Each structure stands twice: as structure tokens, then as C-alpha cells.
A and B are shown apart, each in its own frame.
Chain A
Amino acid sequence: MMFTHRDSTSSPFAYAARAGFAALPLLAAACFALPASAGDASPEGAAKAVLKAEIGKPAPDFILKDTEGRDYRLSDYKGKTVVLEWFNPECPFVRKHHVQFHTMADLSTQLGKQGVVWLAINSNAPGKQGSGLERNKQARAEYKIEYPLLLDETGVVGRMYGAKTTPHMYVISPEGVLVYRGAIDNDPSPRATGSTNYVRASIAHLQAGEKIDPSETTSYGCSVKYAQ
């Protein structure tokens, strides 16, 4: 899989307008908790003030750095299907899909051959479990993750998407529309994988031009460790 990265000094307004992704969230995410209003400068306040991810609506745009220091902007992938995976290297549910089973590696490789882009995001706040550049660099190597692992320590992007668990999965269509959010599969236990992989199924529906059903499921896993 090949991934592009860009210089974060580009204008978020100009790019979002060009790409068709939701522009206002991009400002909040790109500026890392830039106050959305004079009264509430917290990451939660910023996220509340901007668009929230909703099924059938344009996916909020963002720029985040990965563990290698490169910037990734969601709207760069306009024209491609994008999978977002919320990540915490210490979570037993994440380890289930990365270590006990190779759900994420196998599926991302398979989908990558079809041109699907896969991005992992860690929204855990500094000092919380599974946070920090070094730990995530180490985890990416340990888990043999071949796709970018983006760090969202302010939690702005995670809150915009309503990410609650690790893993929490999102599928974005080539048109930049959020078409699936929820669990990776239908077995929420910490030690087994399910018979239905919802991400695989939703992308198959998308590629076939069919209705995506389910478009929302209850995700499962550890809580995302946001700052207070």
C-alpha cells in the first residue's frame, strides 16, 4: 500500500473546499484545538462546535501526524475508500485483532490491493494508557502494522468522529461520505473473532453499489482515553 503525506502549512480551507470534505472540522483538527468559540477553547468545546461525523454525511476532514512525523490529511484521499481504525496498543481488544488474530493486517492488506486506504488513529491523551510517540512507534513495529498510525493526543479528531472504543471502525466512500461506523466484527468478546466482518461487508456493499446494511453497529473495546 502506498500512502501520501503533505506539508501541514497548506491552507485547510482551500483544500477542504477543493476536496469536498467537511471544511469546518478540518480547521479545528488541523489547528489542534484552535478555539472554536471565545467561550470554550477545550478540545471537547471545539469538537462540539464543529460538524460531527454522521452516516450519510461528508466525513469531517482532519490533518494528523503519524508516528514518523508525516502529516496526513483525510481529504487527500478523495476518490478512494478510506478505513479509519481507532487504536490503543495496550487494549486487549486491539491486541486481539493485531496479535492473537491478524484481523487488521489481513484485511488492510487485502483491501489495500483494491486501492482502499487504511489509517489508524490513537486519540489517547498524554499520560494515559497507550499514548505517546515512542510507545506507538514501538507498537507499530511490534504489531507489524504497515499502514500509518496517526496521533491525536488532543482528542479533537476522535471526538469529531465520536470514537468511543479501541478499535472503533469507520468507512468513508470515495466521495468522502461516511458510510459505516461501529465494530470491526460481530464478536465483542476479548478472545475470539466474529463470523461477520462489518468493515469487509460494508466495503463489499459499497463496491457493488448496494445499500450498506448495517451502516452502524455498536463498537466494542476499551474506552478511548480522552483528556478530562
Chain B
Amino acid sequence: MTRTSRRASATFLRAAFAAAVIAAPTAPAATASESIAKADVTEPIRAEIVSESAALVPGRTTAIGILFRIEPGWHLFWEGCNQTGYPITVKAQLPEGFRALDLVWPAPERLVSPGEILDHVYDDDVLVILPVEAPTTLDEGKPAVFRFDLEWVACREACVAGDTTIAIDLPVAPAASAAAPSQHTALFEAARRRAPGPAGGAPALRANWAAGALVIECAAARSLAFLPQDGCESLVDPIADASTAGNRLEVRYRPVDGRIGPLRGVVEILERGRDEPRYVSIDVPISEDGDPAVPAQP
């Protein structure tokens, strides 16, 4: 098996988690006030729920994290194009009045197995973030309970299916108070660095359709990679086309049953002078006649 080398970030996430634990070496067993839920112990994966804030504040957004701790040698699957496995699924049951925003998925690793099999996986601890908006009317004396139904397939050579339901209850702070950070903030920061975000902060990028290929250009890049999320059947050669040691990448697509795409995915940009890649989501629209429209700019 071959993997792309983005080990630095993944290692950082593990280090961040270790730091979070080390920071409170004498802490008693996890409690709600520590913003960590009771851990599930389904091997080879252990799932936990953590919160970025120690308490909820009425009317404010709080980030809740689903932390998958992965035994060495095993991997979980991203939600994008995979040729095997099954992506992590997260279903949240929120307390009344709360609103869930979009899940934030860190960028995965590419895994190429014998038989030219391409998957996008997490092979180190991964934190999936769910931002939730609290209602303005919250009872300060009553903790809010967030419940998550999780499902996954973990593979090494063999694969095992796993699922669990776990919950976290968070205390409510007074309205208009500052949201105190929990001991897990480093985990959230590390996960966000690996997650595609709005273009702000990332270098300028162009993604266009030209001559049967999605052409991605980024003048500031010394390498580019594309992690496709949609239109998986239309990809001509996702292994060969997915990365380049340059600033221009062509990802070829072909029509399947008269359709191409959708051309949606995450671009990994390694800029000159930077050691850590940045990630941008792109979604090149498809016109009614089946041809991808041009141009698209994230």
C-alpha cells in the first residue's frame, strides 16, 4: 500500500490529544464538566465526544467534536470518493432549540492498495466537528444532552463494521458570558487546520472545465492534490491524476450514461515556503446540457 505523505498534520492531531490528556494528569474519571463523554470501547476504534467549550452560552455557537481513536494499522473512511469501505456516518440528536451547522471533516490520506484500489482514509486519530447554535433561551441549571449515533467500517486487511450511540451533557453558562475553553481546544485547532474552509486564508485558486478535465491552478503552489467527493464513476484515472509536483493539476473525467461529475472535491495546496498544506473545497457546477460550466472560483 502507498500513502501520500501528510504525516506532520496527522501526527500533530495525536500530539494535541496527548497534550490535552497530559495537561490534566491527575484528573478524575471523565465527567460532563470536563466536556468529555463516556468512551465507547469497540475495538479497533474508540469513539468519544468532546466539546471545545466547557459550557454552553445561550445564543452562541459551540463546537462539539466526535473523536475517533484508531488503533495503529487500521483506518476509517472519509465521506468522499472511495472504492471500498464505508464512510463514517454521524447522526446527531440535539436538545430542543439547538441548530446543527455542517459537519467539518478534516482532509483524509490517500490510500492505494494492490489492484489499483484508491481510498481516502483516516489512519490516525480524527476529530469531526459539529458546530451547534444554542437557542437564546436556555435554562442555566439544566445541562443540555447531545446524543450521537455513529457508524463506521474499519479496515486493516480485514474489515469490521462498528457502531455506537454516545452522548455528552454540557452545562449552561449565564447568557452573555464568555465561553470558557475546555481542555480539548488544541484538538479542535488541529482538526480545523486539516479541514477545507472558506477561501479566506488560502492562496488564490482557479478550477475550470477544459477539454474533458477539471483544471486546477494555483500560482502559489509547489504541489497540488485533489480529493474527489462526487462524480466518482466519471473519474478516468483518479490515482494518476490526483496529484502533481507543480501548480497546475488536470483531473480527467468521462461521461457515464451521458453524465459527467459532479465535479466536487477538496484541493490540497502546499505553498512555497510552507510545510503544512491548506485545503479548499471546490464545486464546479454542471450545466443543463451535461457540460460542466466554466469558470468556477471557490
- Residues of B near A196 (CB, < 8 A) are none
Chain B nearest CB from A194 CB (Å) reads: 13
User: A173-208 interface mask toward B, CB cutoff 8 Å, 1 = contact, 0 = none?
Assistant: 000000000100000111100000000000000000
Q: A128-B157, A129-B158, A228-B114 are in contact. Are A189 and B256 (CB under 8 A)?
A: no
- Residues of B near A214 (CB, < 8 A) are 256-257
Give the complex CA separation of A33 and B155 in angstroms: 28
Flag if B155 contacts A222 (CB, 8 Å). yes
Q: 8 Å CB contacts to A: which residues of B226-258?
A: 232-233, 256-257
Flag if B115 contacts A224 (CB, 8 Å). yes
Chain A nearest CB from B158 CB (Å) reads: 5
* Interface status of A92 (Cβ within 8 A of chain B): yes
Chain A interface residues (CB < 8 Å from chain B): 44, 90-93, 128-129, 155, 158-159, 162-165, 182, 188-191, 213-228
Interface of A is mostly: loop
Contacts A/B (CB < 8 Å), 27 sampled:
A90-B158, A92-B153, A92-B159, A92-B160, A92-B161, A128-B157, A129-B157, A155-B115, A162-B116, A164-B115, A164-B116, A165-B83, A165-B84, A188-B86, A189-B86, A190-B153, A191-B163, A214-B256, A215-B256, A216-B233, A218-B83, A219-B83, A221-B84, A223-B117, A224-B117, A227-B114, A228-B114
Chain B nearest CB from A221 CB (Å) reads: 6
* Interface status of B133 (Cβ within 8 A of chain A): no
Q: A224-B115, A224-B117 are in contact. Are A191 and B161 (CB under 8 A)?
A: yes
Give the complex CA separation of A215 and B232 in angstroms: 14
Flag if A218 contacts B232 (CB, 8 Å). yes
Flag if B257 contacts A216 (CB, 8 Å). yes
Highest count of chain A CB atoms <10 Å: which of B84, B86, B119, B257: B84
Give the complex CA separation of A224 and B114 in angstroms: 8
- Residues of A near B157 (CB, < 8 A) are 128-129, 225
User: B47-91 interface mask toward A, CB cutoff 8 Å, 1 = contact, 0 = none?
Assistant: 000000000000000000000000000000000010111100100
Chain A nearest CB from B113 CB (Å) reads: 5
- Residues of B near A182 (CB, < 8 A) are 233
Q: 8 Å CB contacts to A: which residues of B114-161?
A: 114-117, 119, 151, 153, 155, 157-161
Q: A90-B158, A189-B86, A218-B233 are in contact. Are A164 and B117 (CB under 8 A)?
A: yes
Give the complex CA separation of A167 and B70 in angstroms: 26
Q: Which A residue sits closest to B87, measured CB to CB? A: A188
Q: Which B residue sits closest to A191, measured CB to CB? A: B161
Chain B nearest CB from A96 CB (Å) reads: 9
- Residues of B near A217 (CB, < 8 A) are 233
- Residues of B near A228 (CB, < 8 A) are 114
Enumerate the 6 nearest inter-chain pairs by beta-carbon distance, A residue then B residue, closest first: A190-B161, A226-B114, A226-B115, A223-B84, A222-B159, A92-B161
Q: Which A residue sits closest to B89, measured CB to CB? A: A189
Specify which of B86, B114, B160, B256 is in contact with A216 (CB 8 Å cutoff).
Answer: B256
Highest count of chain B CB atoms <10 Å: which of A44, A92, A226, A227: A92
Q: Which A residue sits closest to B160, measured CB to CB? A: A92
Give the complex CA separation of A163 and B115 in angstroms: 8
Give the complex CA separation of A217 and B259 in angstroms: 12
- Residues of B near A191 (CB, < 8 A) are 151, 161, 163
